[in-house]
Amino acid sequence: MLHPWYALRYVGFITRELAAGALKVAWGAFTPGLQSTPAIVEFPLRCRTDLEVTLMTSSITITPGTLVVGIAAGGNGEPATIFVHHMFSGGRGDVVAGLTDMEDRLLLMTRGREGTP
């Protein structure tokens, strides 16, 4: 079940991320000598339902400069894992922190305060 208030906040968050990502990619494309620092990061998900995994991977993929390049299905108590390509990584820790923030907001939207870790 989606919580309307948190869904509205999530849409605002994704809109902000889209604008920031588009500006960063455009800046990188039109600035001579600026080098991107691409990385592929493995990120285990706390998302459990198909809806949550789909929303998370779609949110990452529509954000400019990021792309989900693979998903390893979970099973036997293991979470699903996604592999994310990030164009301007700034290090693995930064990418994981950004993905964790996105997932926290998404789980708040789908589960509410009671269901978030």
Where do the structural domains in the chain lie, given as residue ranges?
Answer: 4-115
d(CA 59, CA 68): 10
Q: Which pLDDT score, from 0 to 100, does residue 75 have?
A: 80
pTM listed for this prediction: 0.89
User: Which of 1-5, 6-10, 34-38, 61-65 shows the lowest mean pLDDT across its residues?
Assistant: 34-38
Q: Is the pLDDT of residue 100 over 90?
A: yes
Q: Is the pLDDT of residue 110 over 90?
A: yes
Q: Which pLDDT score, from 0 to 100, does residue 35 have?
A: 77
Site of tokens 């999530």:
10
Helix axes 4-30, 92-115, angle to 10 degrees: 170
d(CA 11, CA 15): 6
CATH top-level class for 4-115?
A: alpha beta
pLDDT top residue among 64 and 29: 64
Q: Is the pLDDT of residue 32 over 90?
A: no
